[in-house]
Chain A
Amino acid sequence: MARYILRRLAFSIITLFLLVTVVFLITNVFPSDPGRQIAGPFASQEQVDVLNEQLGTNDPLLNQYGRLLRSSVTFDYGDSFQVGQPVSELLWPALGRSAKLVLYGLVLTVPAAIAAGMFAARRRNTFIDRGIVTLGVASSSIPEFVSGVALQYFIGVKLGWFEVLALAPRGSNLITELKHLTLPALSLLVVYFGYIARMTRAGTIQALDADYTRTATMKGLSTRHVMRRHVARNALQPTVSVVGTQIGYLFSGLIGLELIFNYPGVGRLIYNASTSKDFPLLSAGVILVGIIYMICTLAADLIIAWMNPRARLQVTS
């Protein structure tokens, strides 16, 4: 297991290195004049030159690349073009808020989705099964921003059950914060419920049909015991894998939701950085989300390896 973890970690580090390179290539291959972007159209060329000097955009590309690589280790990306504050000071609090939302969304989604998926698998081809599958496909086709707006209007404004905006006043307790976060978390649920439920269903069906399950059933073990002992353990592997990979994608789904619910998380920060061409903040944000994705897939892989020793052998994809 230790060897597996080490090899898996090495892959992650190579991947991170390549990610930084890709981001660097995208932001530097194309000509841009950050100094002009910051100083504005009426600044003199001297002012712009001074700014470019400060930002280091006049340095040779290799130096800039080295700097970005160093930044990715120390996570010191310098100052944001637009706000003037260090990028990390902007990113960390935003990331904390987004993580809170994602976590809450997962807590709502995953148990419900797993329960529904297993339920559907055991009633294969019945009306309920078809219903869950079809609903799952339909709901996950709706972009987050659409379901977010719908929930905001119907549940937040019309019914008044939950707060319409995601950020609770400072110093609120956890209950109040959760009340504020419920609508965006539910919007995440709408999209990811169907996806996770279908994965669980597929995994469960596969496990139910597997020889070990038939053997266990034929041995006369109770359905409950079989489901828990044999089916669940195997059926949940694809689910864990999907939840792991989906967390990274959740962060992009957050952009629309954080705009609609006015939540100052990392998605909104990256979006604003992109429209205002705030490249230090944008690059750092994209790299950060990439790192989160890698950590989550790594965690998912390790959990699966723990659940299924055979998987440890298949390191390369």
Chain B
Amino acid sequence: MDWKRFDGVRHNVGPVHLDLVESYAQGRISRRQFVRRGAVIGLSVPMISAVIAACGDDDASSPTGGAGTPGTGSAPGTTPGTASGSTTAPGTGPATTLVGGTPGGIITVGAQIPGALDPIAMQDLGAYGLIAQCFEFLATLGDDGRIAPGLAESWEPNEDGSVWTFQLRQGVKWQDGSDFSSADVAATMDRLVAAANAGLAGVIEEGAVDATDPNVAVFNLAAPNGNFPALVSVFNAQTPITPAAFESGMTLDGAPNGTGPWKLDRFDAATGCTFVRNDAWWGGQVPLDGTEFQFFDDLGTMLTAMQGGSVDALIQFSVIGGDALLSSPDFKVLDIQTATHRQVWMRTDEGQFADKRVRQALALTFDRDQMLETLFRGRGNIGNDHPIAPFFPYFDESVPQRTKNIDMAKQLLTDAGIDGLSAALQIPNLQEIPELAQLIVAGAAEAGINLQIAQESTQTFYGSQWCPGEPADPPCSGAAELGIVDYGDRPTPDIYLNAALKTNGIWNSSQYSNPDLDAAFSEFQSSVDVEGQKAACKTMETILNDEVPVGLPFFYNFLSGHSTEIQGVRITGLGQMFLDKASRV
């Protein structure tokens, strides 16, 4: 430990930052967890490097470069997090140095058909990916796969994490030529509050942003929040900054005016869209002339297009059917570790699963390793029936992992006085969920539980099986007794806990209500230090693992990729592909 250097760092950081630095210096959190968390709360990259250098770099890799391999469980040969072919100075936000590519030309990307391109209301990866081409976030995707300065150059919390100050980038212009300022940020946030954004609801209220200085946006939070920057980053997909004159309900194709590197040129909801380079972009000139997004109905067709050479890159593909791409020398896999998961919800308030022993029994029939192996060729992490993924800095590993145990499942059912349990398993026809459901049905059958799959289109499923609009109070009280629902990637587990597991959460399909969990969650949210968060997580993990309102067998990696004829492509686990550094080889 280089104490002198360490002291130098300590004098240059705020209290929340200091807390993290000390946690790391004292060995209470790992280097990876330190880097991940540091990026969230706004420690600059030089600062992170300095701390690690001061504390002695115990890992072989540097914290920034290509070491985006947080957590465990990634298959060899993949580069989670870092989805970049070329490298630029890490952490400096977008920059357009072209390394070894040919400037000019266009790249064609295979994407799923987007829903309406309304940045505030969109819910699907297709729309996320297109919106992120034109509009930009306060915090964007860094080369290391974590959040990095975007429209904000830096951010800093006050002492208790209740006020966050974002220094905005200067000289940024909207594509119509007007200047970008903090008024745009304030207006965007008000729109998000009005739309009850799942990540910001309860965190900020209307008028939260003080825009007195056009170059500074000061957020006054409703309550202290240690994870705030992540909630206004690219990882909360609905939060790109739109012009002050924008209104809720306006769409990108209706009002194409962002700050980003690409301008929407042509949009056709059925076939695809094209973007041209924005020469006035603050990040300088991008190598490509333009990009084209081709829309596909399903991943299988997209895969065929990739193999037939019709597209250069894929937003997403699945392991099942994607074997050929995974082993192809002409294809570069972008494998991003995410908290994407499926929840097998069980009604805790009524019906056959109201007894927690029955819920435990079903969770005990999951062969989690087999699921991860069969469905994802092992690309992901095993889950322990709670949404706190093992690579989150505040994950507590002391809660024992539940594994398949048919005898114990049968015993629990006998104890609960259940004989011949039979139930319908409600699922949407979405990605691998039908396959997962079949694995669950087969496992359950071993313990004598008879499940029948009831599959619906996604729209029908969300509106009638999962969270029907009626009865509206409490939310989701019309949910089926058993089903599988999908949750996308988030940089923190706040949304999963807030919406699905907290009492009266808007997506609480298991109708779970436990004051102890609610208290632990509040504690987690208001903690600004890793240790406090970790302690709260231990409580939540223990409660959820024991009571099993949801079975959560795994978290899986987001798979994207491109042909080796192009380079410099980065992508988030939410399907936002960044092509500002991309070029043909």
Contact = CB atoms under 8 A, between A and B. Distances in A.
On whether A and B touch (CB less than 8 Å), the answer reads: yes
B298 interface: yes
Interface residues of A, number: 34
B469 A42 contact: yes
B472 interface: yes
Contacts of A164: 304-305, 307-308, 310
Nearest to A93: B270
B297 A83 contact: no
A275 interface: yes
Contact of B271 (A36, A157, A167, A277): A167
A1 B522 CA distance: 84
A94 B460 CA distance: 25
A40 interface: yes
B270 A269 contact: yes
Interface stretch (A21-29, A186-194, A258-266): A258-266
Interface of B: 113, 115-116, 268-271, 294-298, 301-302, 304-305, 307-308, 310, 457, 459-460, 462-463, 466-470, 472, 475, 506
Contacts of B506: 42
Given A42-B506, A90-B270, A165 B305 contact: yes
B459 A156 contact: no
15 contacts: A36-B463, A37-B463, A40-B462, A41-B466, A42-B506, A43-B469, A157-B304, A164-B307, A165-B305, A259-B297, A262-B297, A264-B295, A268-B297, A269-B270, A277-B457
A82 B270 CA distance: 12
A215 interface: no
B116 A84 contact: yes
Given A42-B506, A157-B304, 12 more contacts: A36-B469, A40-B463, A90-B269, A93-B270, A152-B304, A156-B304, A165-B305, A259-B298, A262-B297, A262-B301, A272-B113, A276-B459
B486 to A, nearest CB: 15
A249 to B, nearest CB: 22
A268 B468 CA distance: 28
Contacts of B475: 42
A45 B116 CA distance: 22
Nearest to B271: A264
Contact of A83 (B269, B301, B310, B472): B269
A48 interface: yes
A262 B305 contact: yes
A277 B295 CA distance: 20
B308 A157 contact: yes
B301 A45 contact: no
Contact of A157 (B269, B297, B307): B307
- Among A259, A260, A261, A264, which residue has the most Cβ atoms of chain B within 10 A? A264
A301 interface: no
Given A165-B304, A262-B301, A277 B469 contact: no
A27 to B, nearest CB: 16
Interface in A155-193: 156-157, 163-165, 167
A277 B308 contact: no
Contact of A165 (B298, B308, B467): B308
Nearest to B463: A41
Contacts of A82: 115
A264 B269 CA distance: 10
Contacts, number: 77
B459 A277 contact: yes
Contacts of B310: 163-165
B270 A260 contact: no
A85 interface: yes
Nearest to B464: A41
Given A37-B463, A41-B466, A275-B459, A165 B301 contact: yes
Nearest to B324: A157
Contacts of B294: 167
A21 to B, nearest CB: 26
Contacts of A276: 457, 459
Nearest to A275: B457
A204 to B, nearest CB: 40
B93 to A, nearest CB: 33
Nearest to B311: A165
- Among B116, B270, B462, B475, which residue has the most Cβ atoms of chain A within 10 A? B270
Given A94-B270, A260-B301, A41 B308 contact: no
- Among B294, B310, B467, B468, which residue has the most Cβ atoms of chain A within 10 A? B310
Contacts of B304: 152, 156-157, 164-165
A42 B305 contact: no
A224 B392 CA distance: 83
B105 to A, nearest CB: 14
Nearest to B270: A264
- Among B113, B268, B304, which residue has the most Cβ atoms of chain A within 10 A? B304
A84 B468 CA distance: 23
A86 to B, nearest CB: 12
A44 B308 CA distance: 46
A141 B376 CA distance: 36
A268 B470 CA distance: 32
Contacts of B301: 165, 259-262
A80 to B, nearest CB: 9
A163 B269 contact: no
Contacts of B268: 93
B308 A37 contact: no
A84 B301 CA distance: 25
Contacts of A41: 462-463, 466-469
Nearest to A43: B469
